[in-house]
Structure 1
């Protein structure tokens, strides 16, 4: 019961932050689960993989309500989604395979670098003022979209995210309207999470150091607590966001990502000089 309470609190925090800053919860859930699993004394070799896998499993559930909301507003570009999905499914599966081959410390180091890159990108986006056309004029053909989806799915599965921080910039570069880019990105998060979570479950199956209530690298008590609490608290975060400056929120979240990224890099910096 005490352990489930920890994951409920984590889900509430991740949901609030996700709603407040308008981002997927994976960027918060993965680092938080790494801290919780470390405190519980789980094996360092597998705890980061468990954090990533469990994050992806939660995204399967949380993405459904997001997709429904965007679909009801007619904002999802389903033709782009269908073109990207084959690549996403393959890329996400391979992302799970890639992460399985990486030692836990290297995986943490990569997550730290990724968090810093996203933080810098958010700050740079806030400095840009130029408005580009949003007519979708740069959208490539189905093969190129699938290839782009493959790269996005591969990276997203490694980092345990729904891919919004990668898919939205990609579609914006293709001059898709921002609202449609965000909505389509939300839809793409579902195949990313499904294929990635299944891949991590398969790769970790039979791993001897896993705790009870695990399916491969997916840890179900954490999944349950996060899913139960994150959705209602995401609404709370979204309501709070309307009372605050969007740019201030973006800068605050970028600062939080910097702290997370620098901590992971600092803890595993010895790998770079080994």
Structure 2
């Protein structure tokens, strides 16, 4: 990592702290890990600091996964206190989601920076469009599918989430509500999904990037400890506020804002590929 003077680092650190607070709030509110905010902010930060273009996106995704570990655990604890988490479903996903997360991290480690940005742009666009569209009355069933169907869904959620560096909240919320589960239960359960993705995903990104010659200082594989130290504390502190509001307020306006943000992020990464 290039060495910048303290004054130059101030706006970068302030940007990371603001993003961390917003992501922590969203983690509690939507049951997401905040990666949809972390990844673009970290990517831009690493690019500004002069990190090699070949690894900046990998570092952004891997560091995002690392930050999601404490955020998702704090969010899960907040939602468990309210008794809204589907603990049975989480127990059934103890193998499927981590396997998907490891597979996603492995694919990310062998992908190029351009490929990772393209994947993030496409999925961010789809998630953003879904957020703007709101909830659908369409249902795939009255309850979740059997164990095989749940396992396949869990693997796919873990795979796509690890590729993007997100906690899987948007994917799980969509899955559960399509099968008739209440949105508050889906949001609460998504906090547990984030933990199942982030812990094995973190280890996979460390191993996948180990020994990479172009990594900056303070990196363990594709996880940067500087970003982790700045972002994680602020995001953790903001989680309870989001979890509290999730059970009290309508989230439609925030869905619109978050959906718009995702579309802007998708456009930003798409533009970087031109």
* TM more than 0.5: yes
Pairwise TM-score range, normalised by the shorter structure: 0.7 to 0.9
Alpha-carbon contact 1:48-1:107 (below 8 Å) kept: yes
Matched, 1:16 2:22: yes
- From 73, 83, 93, the equivalent of 2:82 is 73
- From 55, 60, 68, the equivalent of 1:51 is 60
Displacement of 1:107 after TM fit? 0.6
CA distance in 1, matches of 2:97, 2:243: 28
Matched, 1:265 2:266: no
TM-score by length of 2: 0.87
Matched, 1:184 2:184: no
TM-score by length of 1: 0.87
Aligned residues: 265
- Kindly report the root-mean-square deviation, in angstroms, between the aligned alpha carbons of the 2 structures: 2.7
CA distance in 1, matches of 2:134, 2:23: 20
Q: What is the SS of the residue equivalent to 1:205?
A: coil
Alpha-carbon contact 1:59-1:193 (below 8 Å) kept: yes
Displacement of 1:253 after TM fit? 2.0
Deviations 1:229-270 (A, max 9, x none): 12234556778999997333222222221111111101103x
Alpha-carbon contact 1:162-1:190 (below 8 Å) kept: yes
Please name the residue that 1:272 is paired with.
Answer: none
Displacement of 1:8 after TM fit? 5.6
- Name the CA shift for 1:89/1:39 in 2 (closer, same or farther; >3 Å): same
Matched, 1:171 2:160: no
Displacement of 1:200 after TM fit? 0.7
CA distance in 1, matches of 2:121, 2:207: 25
Q: Name structure 2 gaps, 5 residues minimum.
A: none
CA distance in 1, matches of 2:254, 2:156: 29
Q: Name structure 1 gaps, 5 residues minimum.
A: 270-274
CA distance in 2, matches of 1:185, 1:244: 18
- Name the CA shift for 1:241/1:60 in 2 (closer, same or farther; >3 Å): closer
